[in-house]
Amino acid sequence: MPVIDLNADVGEEAGGADGDTALLDVVTSASVACGFHAGDPSVMRRTLGEAVARHVVVGAHPSYPDRPGFGRRDMAISPARLTDDLLYQIGALDGLARSYSARVRYVKPHGALYLRMADDDACARAVCDALRAYGDLALLAPYGSRSIAVAEQLGVQVATEAFADRAYLPNGQLARRAEPGALVTDPDEVAARAVTLAVDHRVAATDGSWVPVAASSICIHGDSPGSAALAQRVRTALTDAGIGLEPFVR
């Protein structure tokens, strides 16, 4: 049976605590905001508790220090400072996770940092330096990202991610959120895209062409409208297609 991970970004307070709880009932991995773009110690700890209770694998979702812009604005931060900022966020989340006898198992950067890491080797190295310094953490990166090669060169475990609810450009990059149609919201379309990603390892681009995407994990954004129902629709479609759901890292 083919298997794939289903993840969501949580702890961002976009849909409130109830929205995160409903998402955590569905996903197999959860990337928890670490306070720099959303969340705070109380939100982080509550979200971790809900995830651990459901045996959901926990990852850190660190960001540039950009709460006003929700981490979606690129920032001129030196690689050394970026590594320090990431260690700070990962350590804070992992410390809270230990209160539930759990550990952070992977890191998925958020927003502008996630996009910058994908095509900026210096940024990707700074991210990987944080993971290496902290130890025993996997990096979740977009398929086709330059950060994959950087991580492999530095000996960092890396897994690839795809998005069922985001539009792809013909070059394989995600359409910018400001562009019309960048967010796919129709549940049937999102579910069908997830199955195609898991089975055929490809996704339809904005011009109708097919883009190869081999992913270890499929993401449903926690700040999307109706994200919990969307995630449940995706999970049902995947299991109906004979695809198993399990975390990409344990």
Give the pLDDT band of residue 227 (cuts 50, 70, 90).
Answer: confident
Are 202 and 191 in contact, with CB atoms under 8 Å apart? Answer: no
Give the pLDDT band of residue 15 (cuts 50, 70, 90).
Answer: low
In DSSP terms, 135 is beta-bridged to none
CB-based burial, 152-165: b 16+ in 10 Å, e otherwise? eebebebbbbbbbb
User: What pLDDT, in 10s, does the model give residues 117-156?
Assistant: 999 999 999 999 999 999 989 999 999 899 999 999 999 9
User: What pLDDT, in 10s, does the model give residues 164-187?
Assistant: 999 999 999 888 877 888 888 889
Say yes or no to pLDDT of 17 above 60. no
pLDDT value for 106 = 98
Are 220 and 229 in contact, with CB atoms under 8 Å apart? Answer: no
pLDDT value for 136 = 87
pLDDT value for 181 = 82
Tell me how crowded residue 106 is: count the other CB atoms within 10 A of its CB: 24
**Mean of pLDDT values over 84-100:** 98
Element (H, E) at 245: strand 244-245
Say yes or no to pLDDT of 197 above 60. yes
Cα–Cα distance between 64 and 75 in angstroms, integer? 7
Q: Please state, rounded to an integer, the average pLDDT across all residues of the chain.
A: 93
The region that residue 111 occupies, defined by phi over 0 for left and psi between -120 and 50 for alpha, beta otherwise, is left
Are 48 and 94 in contact, with CB atoms under 8 Å apart? Answer: no
Q: Using the 8-state DSSP alphabet, how is residue 67 labeled?
A: T
Task: Output the CATH code of domain 3-245.
Answer: 3.20.20.370
Give the pLDDT band of residue 18 (cuts 50, 70, 90).
Answer: low
Say yes or no to pLDDT of 19 above 90. no
Say yes or no to pLDDT of 76 above 70. yes
Q: Phi, psi (5° rounding) for residue 70?
A: 55, 30
**Mean of pLDDT values over 92-117:** 97
Tell me how crowded residue 71 is: count the other CB atoms within 10 A of its CB: 24
| Burial (CB count within 10 angstroms: exposed 0-12, middle 13-18, buried 19+), residue 166 | buried
Domain boundaries, the chain: 3-245
Global pTM value: 0.93
